[in-house]
A and B are shown apart, each in its own frame.
Chain A
């Protein structure tokens, strides 16, 4: 199968500069129309496995701040779903539909729409940072807010590096991680909150 993107054909692929030098994130990067169209497409193509509330369980859930942090940017999510999803017709929904679905996933996770549409321009896609755009809404996202009292009381460990600056951690604008590290509700990585090196940073 030909690779869709030459980016992933290389063995060592530093992230493009756009990912590291995220511009001002005033705009959410998608429009309300895109999110509305994305909701329809999502419910038709994705909800069977990922759930109407993006909760799964037949496939991984798509709601929650940790999910947003793991995909990192709209580009990270686009690179994956535009090749692999849905499994019955992988990569066959068309660029516009994939972008709309990303807009809906972002909106569901708390991001607010803006005036500028999400496009397939890689620089734009990698500059739309999911955790930042959805941070405000994530705390009140439906998936999180319906947690039982038992869940709210559950404190989990974090990574050894949690709260530490690691290479790659944004130096200027501290990510949500160190902020939250003050009162972690669950265990975090040993390196959490550390400033880690950033790929492509000098």
Chain B
């Protein structure tokens, strides 16, 4: 792709105007090329236009300049400190030579992707909330993933439950819309998906007391912001089975069902796929739901993008008692076998680390595969019915069980990647258990309704390595282990697979590694300033491939750092991005 020269014009004269808005734009990117609907459907390999690179959430790049032969030559092109501390889970995007970087508290920076120079910065002005709303305040500091690009706009969802649309050229606010009431606890922590002329977003904060009864996936018109539909993940009036699954608990006493990860999208069927989190309170003893499965918690939902209607659902963990969410990335995979196209949805959807394959047209269960040590799922029937370990269901307040995986995973937000090159799914995982005991808690504004006491995260008996990169050979019949890479520290970043035959991922020990997709051999590694975090990605500019590695403070590092005390974590946040590239061939 030919990239024109970026002209960053300093426009000091607009400073006074900017003072009257939340915008803090210093520069302008002239002649920014709009991101078309066609580009979103078929992203150019040079760009990284959305959360996981494409609608299929594969986290795969077709670029291959950095490959098994060249990866050892990578050198630092530039680095940049993020604008804010806090837990770092950023997913940088690149289009037309501009990198868009979102950080905590909804700060967005546009950087020249070649030089690392700042073009503009947007700082969202957040409302002040009472100090006692500590869970809600903490949520603002653990912003998950991404923003979205469409036409000449940057679209973000904010901690105070707004959709904000910026001009990509200068970072100024084009329009914004208050979607839900942050005073109740609603808060966006995951980025939107732009599809079919709509902004598809999912609200978080649904385990905060004031949000009882409603947790939503929503669609807004991408141009006007008008709400087109919303789907409530814990109260579906069209499905009696869903209502009954809460065992008599009325909607006003239901919490959870948070879609914690940006969904995937199949343009052929105009369907979006989202993962849903745990129910609240966490334990059915406190929740009052008896042995009900508490739909649609811990499920995959397939929604018609035109109408918001549910096409199908599949529940990966019914009757959750341990805060073992199943909201993580849903990946769409097509495989041609003997002339037949198999359209799958694959995922390690939940903290318990079990991998699933579903038929994405019907929601039919295809296969499952255990990865890390877990004791909450006893068996999965051939028809896909998941049977929990009822020995771990609490019968009394204060009763305590050791539950594997831990509330921190197993699997957590760090996304896996699927490589069509090797038909392999690479998943970052942590071996961990914790004790869980229900408590009776009076809920307070701005705080969560879990009502559970967790013990510290500990390694499962007999295991000494916290970290596991699991490579799964995928087909419509099964997932088999291709290789495993076990190591002391926990993996703390998402992984990136590329057409160069590599998979990149980082850990609590501040190291980014490149593995051979086929063998699991480490072909390159580099120690950085802080635990590797967020979503590594890659792009190309003027014939050179760049590799972006975010670093920074991470719950995934801190929650089980006691398992690798020989690798002390830094106490500084260190939130940064490091951009690598190959030396120029002619130099």
Instruction: List A residues at the B interface (Cβ < 8 Å).
Output: 1, 3, 8-15, 19-20, 48, 53, 55-67, 69-72, 76, 79-80, 83-84, 86-92, 142-144, 146-148, 150-151, 154, 156-162, 164, 166-169, 175-177, 180-181, 184-192, 196-201
Q: List 20 A-B contacts (CB under 8 A).
A: A8-B435, A8-B458, A57-B137, A63-B132, A65-B442, A80-B454, A83-B562, A151-B129, A157-B253, A159-B253, A159-B451, A168-B438, A180-B442, A186-B444, A190-B288, A190-B289, A192-B440, A197-B285, A198-B396, A200-B398
In angstroms, Cα B444 to Cα A62, docked, is: 14
- Beyond the given A8-B435, A11-B402, A160-B253, please list 18 additional residue pairs across the A-B interface where CB-CB is below 8 A: A13-B402, A15-B437, A57-B86, A61-B447, A64-B134, A66-B443, A70-B441, A72-B398, A80-B455, A83-B456, A84-B457, A87-B559, A146-B130, A157-B443, A160-B249, A167-B396, A191-B286, A191-B288
Residues from chain A with a CB closer than 8 A to the CB of B137 are: 55-57, 61
Tell which of B7-15, B24-32, B208-216, B415-423 binds the partner. Answer: B208-216
Residues from chain A with a CB closer than 8 A to the CB of B115 are: none
Nearest A residue to B446, CB-CB? A151
Q: Does B439 contact A (CB under 8 A)?
A: yes
Q: Is A167 in contact with B397, judged by CB distance below 8 angstroms?
A: yes
Q: Which of B395-437 contact A (CB under 8 A)?
A: 395-402, 435, 437
Per-position 1/0 for B2-42, Cβ under 8 A of A: 00000000000000000000000000000000000000000
By secondary structure, the B interface counts as loop
Residues from chain A with a CB closer than 8 A to the CB of B447 are: 61, 64, 66-67
In angstroms, Cα B138 to Cα A184, docked, is: 24
Q: Is A12 in contact with B401, judged by CB distance below 8 angstroms?
A: yes
Q: Does B553 contact A (CB under 8 A)?
A: yes
Per-position 1/0 for B134-146, Cβ under 8 A of A: 1101101100000
Min CB distance B62 to A, Å, is 38
Nearest A residue to B185, CB-CB? A156
In angstroms, Cα B209 to Cα A59, docked, is: 19
Q: Does B229 contact A (CB under 8 A)?
A: no
Q: Is B134 in contact with A143, judged by CB distance below 8 angstroms?
A: yes
Min CB distance A130 to B, Å, is 10
* Residue in contact with B397 in the complex, picked from A8, A83, A90, A197, CB distance below 8 Å: A197
Residues from chain B with a CB closer than 8 A to the CB of A189 are: 253, 281, 286-288, 440-441, 443, 449, 451
Asked whether A176 and B568 contact (CB < 8 A) given A83-B458, A191-B285, the answer is: no
In angstroms, Cα B437 to Cα A64, docked, is: 19
Q: Is B134 in contact with A56, judged by CB distance below 8 angstroms?
A: yes
> Total number of A-B contacts with CB less than 8 angstroms?
299
Asked whether A159 and B438 contact (CB < 8 A) given A15-B400, A190-B249, the answer is: no
Min CB distance A144 to B, Å, is 5
Q: Is B455 in contact with A79, judged by CB distance below 8 angstroms?
A: yes
Min CB distance B87 to A, Å, is 8
Per-position 1/0 for B224-246, Cβ under 8 A of A: 00000000000000000000000
Q: Is A84 in contact with B456, judged by CB distance below 8 angstroms?
A: yes
Q: Does B529 contact A (CB under 8 A)?
A: no
Q: Is A177 in contact with B440, judged by CB distance below 8 angstroms?
A: yes
Nearest A residue to B141, CB-CB? A57
Asked whether A199 and B132 contact (CB < 8 A) given A84-B562, A190-B287, the answer is: no
Q: Does B464 contact A (CB under 8 A)?
A: yes
Q: Is B456 in contact with A1, judged by CB distance below 8 angstroms?
A: no
Instruction: List B residues at the A interface (Cβ < 8 Å).
Output: 85-87, 128-135, 137-138, 140-141, 183-185, 209-210, 212-213, 248-250, 252-254, 281, 285-289, 375, 391, 395-402, 435, 437-447, 449-459, 461, 464, 553, 557-565, 568-571, 573
Q: Is A11 in contact with B375, judged by CB distance below 8 angstroms?
A: yes
Min CB distance A173 to B, Å, is 13
In angstroms, Cα B214 to Cα A187, docked, is: 13
Q: Is A187 in contact with B250, judged by CB distance below 8 angstroms?
A: no
Min CB distance A48 to B, Å, is 7
Name which of A8, A10, A196 has the most chain B CB atoms within 10 A of its CB: A196
Residues from chain B with a CB closer than 8 A to the CB of A76 are: 437, 453
Min CB distance B433 to A, Å, is 8
Residues from chain B with a CB closer than 8 A to the CB of A70 are: 439, 441, 450-453
Residues from chain B with a CB closer than 8 A to the CB of A198 are: 396-398
In angstroms, Cα B564 to Cα A1, docked, is: 8
In angstroms, Cα B481 to Cα A55, docked, is: 44
Residues from chain B with a CB closer than 8 A to the CB of A166 are: 285-286, 396-397, 440
Residues from chain A with a CB closer than 8 A to the CB of B185 are: 156
Min CB distance B39 to A, Å, is 37
Asked whether A1 and B562 contact (CB < 8 A) given A72-B439, A157-B210, A189-B451, the answer is: yes
In angstroms, Cα B14 to Cα A111, docked, is: 54
Asked whether A154 and B559 contact (CB < 8 A) given A9-B402, A88-B570, A159-B286, the answer is: no
Q: Is B444 in contact with A87, judged by CB distance below 8 angstroms?
A: no
Q: Is A159 in contact with B281, judged by CB distance below 8 angstroms?
A: yes
Residues from chain B with a CB closer than 8 A to the CB of A3 are: 458
Nearest A residue to B459, CB-CB? A1
Q: Is B212 in contact with A157, judged by CB distance below 8 angstroms?
A: yes
Q: Is A72 in contact with B453, judged by CB distance below 8 angstroms?
A: yes
Nearest A residue to B450, CB-CB? A70
Residues from chain A with a CB closer than 8 A to the CB of B461 are: 9
In angstroms, Cα B7 to Cα A153, docked, is: 51
Min CB distance B457 to A, Å, is 7
Nearest A residue to B557, CB-CB? A87
Nearest B residue to A156, CB-CB? B209
Nearest A residue to B531, CB-CB? A87
Nearest B residue to A164, CB-CB? B288
Residues from chain B with a CB closer than 8 A to the CB of A162 are: 253, 442-443
* Residue in contact with B441 in the complex, picked from A80, A142, A177, CB distance below 8 Å: A177
Min CB distance B217 to A, Å, is 21
Q: Is B400 in contact with A14, judged by CB distance below 8 angstroms?
A: yes
